[in-house]
């Protein structure tokens, strides 16, 4: 879930930014007409700039803006980097190509770029020597990748940073704002955002510094500028327009799409094919199996060649006779279990006269004859959007196989199995393996992947067994009459499902100690109201339990062990502890679930009842207060006490909601399993679990849930959808 958590954190960062800017972001509804016009004018001239890092990946997103009428784009030097590729994207999504570097000032952190084609209308440059403290300003940029975001603020002061004149601004500045224009009330650029110092504090380069740079241009072609990752023209020739070919650490990286059909990109070796009999080989790794990339051979130009490449998990051989789909002929497409998705795969083509033999990782997959194209040049190709990497491209009469022979593979695996996991491999084993040459590395890595997959399966099995043990323990507890089972113990088991190391007994003993201490405090107190008051003081002041307001949606608020440890939680988890202490002290307290909240009611025999909001320091509340907390109208008849099973079901329902919000499929499956232990006839949970099981490789379990739904025909479930999914699984043999 690392990647999902990363995306979730990015979304949260964006939301935090938006809330930070709530008072400073302009909109068409609340801005004066002049400000609205100024924002619209500025936005049209601002672009997003994405630069490439040294590893060939995206290093970040910044901003830039156009000035004048010559198609000049201004940004920070640190946004583009030195000699690196970068892309320019206009607000509507149109991309512009850099044509020329007009001027660079590394010390001042400025660069001016001329773009190809028609550029948006440029902004006017103001006189930064005329700015004043407190002057209102705005900027348009791409903070945290949120394109075309507007922020308003004021000039705080003019300062010197490391010998440079800078303008300090008080406004929200985030990564991605670098290179944004700082605009005055007249729409003139008086600075270029460059540095974020602290929350809502940033610095801008004065516009007069930019004016001096524009007055002293030093033009340089973009080809000359792009030194990092550029291909060696003595070895490679890019044969198709569009996309990008770069080299890094012995790898060729192909990204973007070509301008022709299918986004085809071709890069040819400058070496000619050595006659009618030869071999060509390369290692290829796809960013995504929805893409396609591999070898070309017999090429007589960008459009005419053969191509052998992996695509969608299969291997394909195609004859290309032109730029259009109608001139492409798929000669063969075959699946191959030896192909490893997401890994480096060696693909090879052997040509003997008109016979073409294709293999992947040493396994022959295609062999056929085709005479349409003659000898030419070989190279690399890529299709569609996902990027691809290549390494170890070779062409020759005969190329040594990078794959060990079957007998040698067995010997290598036997040697690897003799390693003692408690100490480093012996020099003798290392020397023996090194004797097989470079191909042994591929075999050892393949074996390592197999062991990692096996370890993952065993770890997953351990998780399933743990879950099953929790379910069986919970079922045993719930097998007792509703008022007889230990609600705290059952709630702790819900926590243990996520935390296998959790021991429930220490928490149960701790609750017993709390109860004994409370009973000692109440010794001699007989009036129900006074006993309730003593319980509230002990729960709030002595134990320090409180409602969680800062991290309301945290799972920790639903895990009873963490509620006890941290002394904070949701209304229902706090109520469970409050009810348990009251029960042990002989105080009549019952739990009542209302929409969006959970309250308790003190109901002494023959005495006056009272409602209590445990979440809000055990505050006494009225029926009207309860209605306000729930967001609905409530009558006395709506305040129905929940059974222990009802309360437990509501607790797991909270966990289901959190897992759904976090898109945590594995956690959602765990909680649905627990929900069905608590309430086996819950049709909505069973339907949801059936769908998830069908999508996560558990067709047998999905079929079982669907059979239950078909047999019991519960209300509220679309039987047509149930039967349709069941037919699909039956067609798969389940």
Q: What is the DSSP string of 9-45?
A: HHHHHHHHHHHHTTTT---TTTS-HHHHHHHHHHHTT
Tell me, yes or no, whether 170 lies in a domain. Answer: yes
Claim to verify: residue 154 and residue 128 sit in the same structural domain: yes
Q: What's the rounded Cα separation, in Å, for the pair 5 and 10? A: 9
Give me the phi and psi of 547, to 5 degrees please: -75, 140
Alpha helix segments (H runs only) across 97-145: none
Asked if residue 241 and residue 209 are part of one domain, the reply reads no
Any domain includes 117: yes
Tell whether 668 is covered by a domain: no
**In the prediction, which pLDDT does 643 show?**
93
| Same-domain pairing of 270 and 197 | no
* Listed residue (170, 233, 235) closest to 204, CA to CA: 170
Q: Is residue 307 part of a domain?
A: yes
Q: Dihedral (C-alpha) 119, 120, 123, 124: value to the nearest 10 degrees? A: 60
Last residue in a domain, options 396, 412, 429: 396
**Claim to verify: residue 581 and residue 640 sit in the same structural domain:** yes
- Put the strands of the sheet holding 236-238 in their side by side order: 236-238, 265-272, 377-383, 292-299, 304-311, 314-321, 328-335
pLDDT at 9: 40
Q: 368, 396, 424 — which closes off a domain?
A: 396
The pTM of the full predicted model, rounded to 2 decimals, is 0.61
H or E segment and range at residue 232: none
Domain of 362: which CATH number?
2.60.120.560
Q: Are residues 115 and 145 in the same domain?
A: yes
Q: Do residues 211 and 265 both lie within one domain?
A: no
Residue 174, in any domain of the structure: yes
Domain that holds residue 134: 2-223
Domain assignment present for 453: no
Residues 376 and 336 both lie in one domain:
yes
- CATH number for 162: 2.40.10.120
Number of structural domains, the chain? 3
If asked whether residues 285 and 218 sit together in one domain, one would say: no
Token pair listed for 207:
């516009």
Does residue 17 sit in the same domain as residue 166? Answer: yes
Local structure of residue 276 (DSSP, 8 states)? S
* pLDDT score, position 559: 95
Which residues of the chain are under the pLDDT cut of 50?
1-31, 55
Distance of CA 518 to the CA centre of its chain: 48
> What CATH number corresponds to the domain at position 628?
3.10.620
Q: Is 283 helix (H, G, I), strand (E, B) or coil?
A: strand
**How much is the pLDDT for 223?**
79
Q: Angle, nearest 10°, between helix axes 571-585 and 487-498?
A: 140
Here the tokens at position 611 are 């409602």
For residues 530 and 637, membership in a common domain is answered with yes
The answer to whether the beta carbons of residues 90 and 120 sit under 8 Å apart is yes
Q: What is the pLDDT of residue 111?
A: 96
Q: What is the rounded CA–CA span in Å between residue 43 and residue 90?
A: 9
Do 508 and 603 fall into the same domain?
A: yes
- Looking at the domain assignment, is residue 313 inside a domain? yes
Q: Are residues 87 and 194 in the same domain?
A: yes
* pLDDT of amino acid 16: 34
Give the distance, in angstroms, between the CA of residue 258 and the centroid of all CA atoms in the same chain: 27
- Give the residue from 649, 673, 698 where a domain finishes: 649
Please state, in angstroms and rounded to a whole number, the distance separating the CA atoms of residues 49 and 76: 10
Structure confidence at residue 58 (pLDDT): 64
Kindly state whether residue 710 falls inside one of the protein's structural domains. Answer: no
């Amino acid at each position: 879930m690392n990647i999902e958590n990363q995306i979730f954190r990015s979304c949260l960062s964006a939301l935090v930014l938006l809330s930070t800017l709530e008072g400073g972001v302009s909109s068409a509804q609340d801005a004066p007409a002049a400000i609205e016009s100024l924002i619209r004018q500025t936005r049209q001239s601002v672009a997003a700039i994405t630069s490439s890092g040294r590893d060939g990946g995206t290093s970040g997103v910044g901003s830039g803006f156009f000035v004048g009428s010559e198609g000049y784009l201004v940004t920070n030097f640190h946004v583009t980097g030195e000699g690196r590729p970068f892309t320019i994207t206009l607000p509507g999504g149109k991309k512009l190509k850099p044509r020329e570097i007009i001027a660079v000032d590394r010390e001042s952190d400025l660069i001016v770029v001329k773009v190809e084609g028609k550029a948006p209308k440029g902004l006017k440059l103001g006189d930064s020597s005329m700015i004043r403290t407190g002057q209102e300003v705005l900027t348009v940029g791409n903070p945290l990748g949120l394109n075309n975001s507007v922020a308003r603020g004021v000039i705080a002061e003019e300062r010197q940073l490391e010998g440079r004149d800078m303008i300090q601004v008080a406004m929200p500045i985030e990564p991605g704002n670098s290179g944004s224009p700082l605009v005055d009330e007249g729409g003139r650029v008086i600075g270029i955002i460059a540095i974020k110092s602290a929350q809502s504090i940033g610095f801008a380069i004065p516009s007069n510094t930019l004016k001096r740079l524009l007055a002293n241009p030093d033009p340089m072609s973009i080809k000359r500028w792009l030194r990092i990752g550029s291909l060696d023209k003595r070895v490679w020739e890019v044969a198709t327009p569009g996309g990008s070919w770069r080299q890094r650490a012995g790898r060729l990286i192909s990204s973007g799409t070509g301008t022709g059909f299918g986004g085809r990109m071709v890069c040819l070796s400058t070496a000619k094919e050595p006659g009618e009999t030869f071999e060509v080989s390369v290692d290829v790794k796809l960013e995504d199996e929805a893409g396609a990339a591999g070898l070309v051979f017999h090429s007589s130009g960008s459009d005419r060649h053969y191509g052998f490449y992996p695509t969608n998990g299969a291997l394909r051989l195609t004859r290309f006779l032109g730029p259009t789909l109608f001139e492409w002929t798929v000669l063969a497409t075959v699946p191959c279990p030896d192909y490893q998705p997401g890994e480096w795969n060696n693909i090879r083509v052997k040509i003997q006269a008109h016979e073409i033999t294709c293999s992947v990782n040493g396994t022959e997959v295609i062999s056929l004859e085709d005479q349409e194209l003659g000898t030419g040049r070989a190279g690399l190709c890529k299709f569609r959007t996902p990027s691809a990497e290549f390494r170890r491209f070779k062409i020759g009469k005969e190329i040594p196989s990078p794959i060990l022979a079957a007998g040698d593979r067995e010997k290598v695996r036997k040697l690897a199995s003799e390693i003692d996991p408690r100490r480093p491999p012996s020099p003798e084993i290392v020397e023996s393996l090194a004797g097989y040459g470079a191909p042994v590395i591929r075999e050892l890595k393949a074996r390592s992947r197999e062991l990692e997959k096996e370890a993952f399966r065993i770890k997953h099995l351990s998780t399933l067994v743990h879950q099953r043990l929790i379910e069986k323990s919970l079922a045993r507890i719930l097998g007792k009459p509703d008022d007889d089972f230990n609600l705290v113990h059952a709630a702790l088991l819900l926590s243990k499902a996520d935390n296998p190391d959790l021991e429930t007994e220490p928490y149960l003993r701790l609750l017993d100690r709390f109860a004994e201490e409370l009973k000692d405090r109440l010794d001699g107190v007989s009036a129900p109201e006074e006993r309730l008051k003593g319980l509230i003081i002990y729960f709030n002041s002595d134990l320090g339990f409180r409602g969680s307001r800062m991290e309301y949606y945290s799972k920790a608020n639903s895990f009873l062990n963490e509620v006890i440890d941290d002394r904070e939680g949701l209304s229902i988890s706090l109520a469970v502890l409050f009810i348990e202490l009251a029960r042990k002290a002989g105080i009549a307290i019952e739990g009542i679930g209302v929409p969006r909240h959970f309250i308790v009611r003190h109901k002494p025999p023959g005495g006056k009842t009272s409602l209590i909001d445990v979440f809000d320091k055990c505050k006494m509340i009225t029926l009207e207060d309860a209605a306000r907390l729930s967001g609905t109208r409530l009558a006395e008849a709506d305040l129905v006490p929940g059974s222990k099973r009802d309360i437990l079901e509501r607790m797991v329902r909270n966990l289901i909601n959190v897992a759904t919000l976090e898109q945590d499929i594995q956690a959602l499956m765990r909680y649905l399993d627990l929900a069905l232990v608590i309430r086996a006839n819950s049709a909505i949970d069973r339907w949801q679990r059936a769908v998830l099981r069908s999508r996560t490789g558990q067709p047998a379990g999905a079929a079982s849930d669907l059979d239950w739904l078909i047999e019991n025909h519960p209300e509220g479930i679309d039987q047509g959808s149930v039967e349709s999914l069941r037919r699909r699984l039956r067609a798969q043999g389940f």
